Amino acid sequence: MKVFLIRSDNVNTLEPGNANDLKIGSARCLRTDNIRYSKIADVLDSEINKVQQFQKDKDLLIFQNIEVARSFFTKLAGLIFKKELKGDEGLLFENCNSIHTLWMRFPIDVLFLDGENMIVSIIQDLRPFRFSPFIKQAVKVIEIKAGVASEFGLRTGDIFRFE
């Protein structure tokens, strides 16, 4: 699975002509007379393509080899049997808000995402034999190579798109 970064700056500076330019069901930040506010908008099908094309032009491919842990065993094992991770590799856990690094051989960066694929928390350089805190807002977790989060300048509020 590929993961693209939609910079939170790109979303925040998007100045739609009206609320109908927003993507269906997603929270976006609008700028109206220099006042920002969150709005959930219903969009006509014809308007969706315009916003998605804007986002696609600004997206940055950051991970090409993200595996999805679907079964109980793959979720339990996680990265335990890996010797190392490359910069574009990682593991995605869905329906998850906490992880452990028991029996792992290397430190990792951990990205906690909400239901809209927005980063709600980042733990950098989580060493082996540690537990992350429970992140209440998180519904997905991505484990990546240590240092990659800072290398890409990832921060809370950034949004991912999965392919």
Cβ pair 3, 68 in contact under 8 A: no
Quick: pLDDT tens for 33-92.
333 333 333 333 334 344 444 444 467 888 889 999 989 888 888 898 888 998 889 999
Q: Where are the alpha helices (DSSP H) in the chain?
A: 8-13, 45-58, 72-77, 148-151
Distance CA 8, CA 35 (A): 17
Quick: pLDDT tens for 118-142.
999 999 999 999 999 999 999 999 9
Mean pLDDT of 8-22: 44
Estimate to the nearest angstrom the gap between the alpha carbon of 85 and the chain centroid. Answer: 18
- What pLDDT sits at residue 123? 97
Nearest to 97 by CA among 75, 81, 80: 75
Mean pLDDT of 13-31: 40
Assigned token pair, 92: 């995605």
Query: Does residue 111 register a pLDDT over 50?
Result: yes
- The distance in angstroms from the start CA to the end CA of the chain is 6
Assigned token pair, 42: 């219903």
Instruction: State the pLDDT confidence band at 7, using cuts at 50, 70 and 90.
Output: low
- What pLDDT sits at residue 9? 57
pTM over 0.75: no
Would you tell me how many other CB atoms lie within 10 Å of the CB of residue 116?
Answer: 14
- What pLDDT sits at residue 8? 55
Helix (H, G, I), strand (E, B) or coil at 20: helix
Query: Does residue 156 register a pLDDT over 60?
Result: yes
- What pLDDT sits at residue 103? 92
- What pLDDT sits at residue 40? 31
Domains defined along the chain, listed by start: 8-58 (no CATH), 62-162 (2.60.120.1140)
